[in-house]
Amino acid sequence: MTRSALERLDAVELARGLARREIRAQDLMRACLDRIAEREPQVHAFAHLAADAALEHARQLDAGALRGPLHGLPLGVKDLFDTHDMPGAYGSPIYSGHRASWDAAAVALCRDAGAIVVGKTVTTEFATFHPGPTRNPHDTTRTPGGSSSGSAAAVADHLVALALGTQTAASIIRPAAFCGVVGFKPSIGRTPRAGMKLLSESLDTVGGFGRSVADAGLLASVLTGDARLQVDAPDGATVPRVGGFQGPDWARADADTRALWDRVSQRLATLAPGSSAVATPAWFEPLASLQTDLMLHEAARGLTDERLRHADLLSPRLSANLSAGLAVSATAHATNLIAVQRVRQQAASLFGNHDLLIAPSAIGEAGPAADGTGDPVFCRAWTLLGLPCLHLPLGVGRHGLPIGLQLIGRFMEDERVLQAGAWLHPRLHD
């Protein structure tokens, strides 16, 4: 295989070749760096690129013993995670030139498993709504989504094999949808948050991106320490029963998403007997609003220092959101936290006899970059409930841009979601 083709392989294929020493880590790294040199001026996926250090790390891995399941894989790290050897600004000028003396736990786990950090990928301002410079690699006039914009774009454009992301509302699933890659948000609490800039104590979840479901599972297995998340899709796998959940905001879905939904529903009726539509219970309808109030209040409290000492360096959008968060009283927030516990206990009732649910990931294709990072409406409730979510790219919309749907599982049934996703993805994809 030519070096120039290496960067286009899925992470699991590369991992096998690296483990067998059929692929050299330095050849893979050079292929990725060549691709970055070609595409980064248009895509702007990186806030900081450590090309020389990454290549030296690859040489060391080639000369030494196998490190772990991510041995030699190029990794992008969302610039919300601290790294001991690279600057990190959390998407804000307040932290320009900031350097930590430690790695975030998620980064350290990936390095320990053999991953090579190529650089810090662009995040929106403190993982909120003010966009960074990253553009959608399928059309650079379009948004890649947020807040894990650089990570999703880097994986989609073959700049890295895997990338770390975080989700507070829709920050993994929506960028995965807009960029046409697989994004996985594990069950809340399964992945460590130490060493990352928190936005919401109750909601922030660490996950990531790959170009296949198996890729996403490989990364998740390292982040959780659970090797069962390294999934495959044997022909003899148990056929999942899938519940179709349009949700209370279905009227917001555009024509492309509606057409995709109809096509997928027809295929599921043949592929997966026992699959059927799921009605939206009354208790589910206010969850998006509850998630918004919870996130804004906790962001306003968590960003108190930035708000008080550096107000002039906050974007107008973030300043307005922090003001809205401060307007949620402590009493109201306490009531909201009680409500969250209650609905999380009710979440299992959504599934009935189904193994998992399928739901929209986004309204439709990625919109113009000038209009912002997109609407998180179809993800807010699932993040609030803390359930595992897996975006599957399944086709393209009217402008030729990626569209897809997400699978949602019961709390802590991450393996089932990934296994079902690995089986369903090639059967549902156009």
Domains along the chain with CATH numbers: 3-229 (3.90.1300.10)
Which is catalytic among the residues 171, 202, 221, 275? 171
Quick one: tokens of 68? Answer: 């772990």
Is 212 assigned a catalytic role? no
Quick one: tokens of 131? Answer: 């966009």
Which is catalytic among the residues 92, 147, 148, 151? 147
pLDDT of residue 429: 95
Distance, in Å, from the CA atom of 260 to the CA atom of 324, rounded to the nearest integer, reads 36
Distance, in Å, from the CA atom of 37 to the CA atom of 227, rounded to the nearest integer, reads 34
pLDDT of residue 237: 72
pLDDT of residue 408: 98
pLDDT tens across the length of the chain (430 residues) = 555 699 999 999 999 999 999 999 999 999 999 999 999 999 999 999 999 999 999 999 999 999 999 999 999 999 999 999 999 999 999 999 999 999 999 999 999 999 999 999 999 999 999 999 999 999 999 999 999 999 999 999 999 999 999 999 999 999 999 999 999 999 999 999 999 999 999 999 999 999 999 999 999 999 999 999 999 766 667 899 999 999 999 999 999 999 999 999 999 999 999 999 999 999 999 999 999 999 999 999 999 999 999 999 999 999 999 999 999 999 999 999 999 999 999 999 999 999 999 999 999 999 999 999 999 999 999 999 999 999 999 999 999 999 999 999 999 999 999 999 999 999 999 8
pLDDT of residue 327: 98
Quick one: tokens of 382? Answer: 């699932």
Measured CA to CA in angstroms, residue 258 lies from 72, 261, 264, 426, 429 at distances of 41, 5, 10, 20, 15
Distance, in Å, from the CA atom of 172 to the CA atom of 159, rounded to the nearest integer, reads 18
pTM across the whole model = 0.98
Is 120 assigned a catalytic role? no
Distance, in Å, from the CA atom of 355 to the CA atom of 413, rounded to the nearest integer, reads 10
Distance, in Å, from the CA atom of 296 to the CA atom of 300, rounded to the nearest integer, reads 6
Of residues 318, 303, 386, 361, the one with CA closest to residue 132: 318
Task: Report whether 227 contacts 172 (CB < 8 A).
Answer: no
User: Phi and psi (nearest 5°) for 312?
Assistant: -70, -15
Helix (H, G, I), strand (E, B) or coil at 150: helix
User: Phi and psi (nearest 5°) for 74?
Assistant: -70, 130
pLDDT of residue 236: 64
Is 4 assigned a catalytic role? no
Neighbouring-strand partners of residue 16: none
pLDDT of residue 356: 98
Of residues 9, 167, 11, the one with CA closest to residue 76: 11
Task: Report whether 373 contacts 129 (CB < 8 A).
Answer: yes
pLDDT of residue 232: 79
Neighbouring-strand partners of residue 402: 396
Please count the residues of the chain: 430
Task: Report whether 200 contacts 168 (CB < 8 A).
Answer: yes
pLDDT of residue 233: 67
